[in-house]
Structures are given as structure tokens and as C-alpha cells.
Chain A
Amino acid sequence: MAGVPKRILKEIERLHNDPAPGIDVTPVNDSIRYFQVVMAGPSQSPYQGGQFKLELFLPEDYPMSPPKVRFMTKMYHPNIDKLGRICLDILKDKWSPALQIRTVLLSIQALLSAPNPDDPLANDVAEQWKANEKRAIQTASEWTKKYAM
């Protein structure tokens, strides 16, 4: 492959040498743009104890445009839809080339700790979250046990 951007190589090197806690990034078939990620659910969240799979892809114009990321593990979360697509501003209009794979993944992990039902992607989940938060959290925790452990 011609001209792998140094920026990407540096990021991969750092992810390898100094991994973010609870986030494991593995290239798929030695790709430098396509990764499988395993993320530990944050403690004191209904995702605690779960190991969640994601896939991440760096499009051709990265870092000018954001990485594409989605969960492969089923999630009960108001900002994550049934196909694992994630509603997070830095993956869309708030993206900046100063952000990195690491910051994106840490932000996603933070989103698991702080669901935002007022900016939902999964409407049914968001409604449940607002109507009965305690029960929603319980469902999220059941899904974690069922799909991520």
C-alpha cells in the first residue's frame, strides 16, 4: 500500500506500547486502517464486567474526517442503536483532526458511564431510560451479562 500516513503509524505504535486501560485494539488482517477493539465496561455502570467488541475503520481522508466505529456486541444504551451505531458528537460534527483513535475510544467508554437519553439514537431505549431509569439500568446490566460476558 502506498504512503501510509505517519500519523496513523504513530497512533498504532502508541496504542500498542501504551494501551489505554480496558481498551484493546487489534488490527484486522494486519490492516493499518481496520481494527477490532475490545472494551471493558466501566465500573459503576450497568456495563461493568462486560467485554464489548467494536470495529473501527480509518477512512482514506483520516484524520481530516473521523474514524468510523460501531459496537459488534449488542448494547442496551440510549445512544447506541440496534446495529451498534454510536451517537457521539466527536464522531460527527465535533470531530477535530487533533483527536485520535485513543481519544475516540476513551470517549465511547465514557459514554457508557454517562448515557444521554436527551440525544438518543435508539428511541425506544431512550424513552425507557427517561420513564424508568432504574429499570433501564437493570435491563442494560442484564444485556451485559447475556451478551458481553
Chain B
Amino acid sequence: MDVPRNFRLLGELEDGEKGIGDGYCSYGLEEQDEVLMYNWTGTIFGPPGTPFDGRIYQLRVYCGDEYPRLPPTLRFITRINLPGVDQQTGVVSPRELECLDKWKSSYSIYTVLRSIFSKMTKRESRLPQPPERTTFPSP
């Protein structure tokens, strides 16, 4: 049975507030009083032993009216050189992240952050990185 969008997101918020997984990926609402819960902030700690090690990445996550039938859209705020991330805007290409490309409504904001984290550990992601604490231009 499908849980309606808002209750689904309230559940995700609760999981996020309690803390989920090993702590490398976290998320929360951008504004604590946005009743319709469109705008979220995700945080990813760079995986150890990768070019992202020791860096903290922030992303904007947008959950539209059709979430979770349709996936969220994501945009890095912190600059990162990672396959599938537009180098002008920081937008994560849905085609190049498997969980977005083959989205299922059982996936969550956490699923997506975690799959970006796991992409960071791949050999193809061993790329030179922009200076720390630089950001993509805000749209």
C-alpha cells in the first residue's frame, strides 16, 4: 500500500532526525516550518581513502508533489568533480545515478545520498578536485 507523500516524508524526516546508517550521509528540511516539505538539505562526508576524504558536501534535495512516485532532484552546493554531476550547476544527472534512473517508490532521500556516497568510492571517481569550501553558483 502506498503511503501518501506527506506522511512518507514525515517518516523520512523522523528517521533523519534520529540519525540513519553509519553517519556518512544525513539530511533534514531546509526550513523547519515548511509544511509541504519540498526543500531538503543533504550532507555527505567524503569516503575515507578517496579524493573526497575529509571534505563535507552539501546538496539541495527537492521532493516534488509526485514524490515518491517520481524521484527527488538533487544539486550539489559544494563544488565537486564527480561523474554525473554537472560542472556548471552541480545538478546530479538522473541518467547517471542508477537509483534515480531506475527509481522505485520504496527508495528514499537516504537511498539517493548513499548511492552518491558509493559512487564517490568508485575507481572512475578518482578525479582531481576543486579547492575545498568552494560552491557552485546558486541558480
Contact = CB atoms under 8 A, between A and B. Distances in A.
B4 A72 contact: no
B10 A70 contact: yes
Nearest to A33: B1
A34 interface: yes
A45 B135 CA distance: 49
Interface of chain B, main secondary structure? loop
A84 B35 contact: yes
Interface in B4-60: 4, 6-7, 10, 13, 29, 32-35, 37
Contact of A34 (B4, B29, B35): B4
Nearest to A83: B35
Give the size category of B's interface with A: 10 to 19
Nearest to A31: B4
Given A72-B35, A74-B35, A83 B10 contact: yes
B1 A82 contact: no
Contacts of B3: 57, 59
Interface string A52-80: 00010101100000001010101000000
Interface residues of A, number: 17
B4 A83 contact: no
A85 interface: yes
A28 interface: yes
Contacts of B29: 83
Interface string B72-109: 00000000000000000000000000000000000000
Interface of A: 1, 28, 31, 33-34, 55, 57, 59-60, 68, 70, 72, 74, 82-85
Instruction: Please name the 4 residue pairs, one residue from A and one from B, whose CB atoms are nearest each other, closest first.
Output: A82-B33, A57-B7, A34-B4, A60-B1
